Amino acid sequence: MKVLITGYDGFVGKNLINTLKRKHSVDELLLYNRKNSFDDLNLFCNQADVVFHLAAAVRPKARNGYDDNIELTNRLIDCLAKNENKCPIMFASSIQAKDNNPYGISKRSEESNLISYGVKNDLNIYIFRFPNLFGKMSKPNYTSVISTFCYNTIMGMPITINDSGTMINFAFVEDVLDEVTDIVLDKKQKSADYIEFDDCYLVGLGELAYYMQTLKNNTFPQIDRKDDFYLKLKQTYNWYLKNYKMFNNLSCKG
């Protein structure tokens, strides 16, 4: 099986590669990012047995930067159609697709184009609306508040919270990708318009900041959550503790 991954070098892409290697039999990974040409994309679309479409600008500098995401999705569709490749496509969308901000609007446009393509060509399109993901390999000050809190705590930098009572639904990236790959590769369900995730942890930003201090001071939190969020948070924090230097020379503002 040959697996095409667009945006393979991002947070989700890196974790997806680990999940595929750990759980599934893959003959070849066809890895595409912004450094590749559209000729490369066309070649990969000729060879792929399944596509994981993750590539997206989350915080583009240009005002119309989200248009590039839509263009890439349309080019992916065109390349697959040109090669008469009816392989399944997984698309990394977002819960923000329900919102009317520029990012959400662009995600809905991509979803619609992919679903239309799937219906027209009788192939499986899996639209996953990701919640707020956390885990190892996320760049601080970009998409994950948890990666930012971990990095800043380790570096002795302040944590900025506008409202400590703000509640956020988080999901552990490895759990999410276990489910994604099981559905897409093991065919545990047919394609659906949208797939969301039930295994989320509702956490307040003030609570999260408190956990950072317990991790830094190696003390046990006095909050009983009755779930395994803190264990997964600790696993994430320990990864940053071992690997924080890889972000020191990066522009972590996206």
The per-residue pLDDT for range 9-28, each reduced to its tens digit, is: 999 999 999 999 999 989 99
Nearest to 134 by CA among 201, 204, 205, 55: 201
User: 142 catalytic, yes or no?
Assistant: no
Q: What is the DSSP string of 167-224?
A: EEEEEEHHHHHHHHHHHHHS--S---S-B--S--EEEEHHHHHHHHHHHHHT---S--
Q: Choose the catalytic residue: 66, 103, 211, 230.
A: 103
> Facing residues of 132 across strands?
170
Centroid of chain to Cα 74: 20
Task: Give the pair of three-digit tokens for residue 194.
Answer: 């949208």
Handedness of CA 205, 206, 210, 213 (dihedral sign): positive
Q: Are 193 and 119 in contact (CB under 8 A)?
A: no
Coil, helix or strand at residue 139: coil
Question: 């009317």: which residue's tokens?
Answer: 100
pLDDT digits (tens, 9 = 90+) for 177-235: 999 999 999 876 667 679 999 889 999 999 999 999 999 999 999 988 899 999 999 99
Query: Phi-psi category of 141—alpha, beta or left, where left has phi over 0 and alpha has psi -120 to 50?
Result: left
What pLDDT is attached to residue 179?
A: 94
**What are the domain boundaries of the chain?**
2-247
Q: Are 93 and 127 in contact (CB under 8 A)?
A: yes
Coil, helix or strand at residue 252: coil
- Banded pLDDT at 249 (limits 50, 70, 90): confident
- In angstroms and rounded to an integer, the radius of gyration of the C-alpha atoms of the chain is 19
- pTM to 2 decimals? 0.92
Q: Does domain 2-247 have CATH number 3.40.50.720?
A: yes
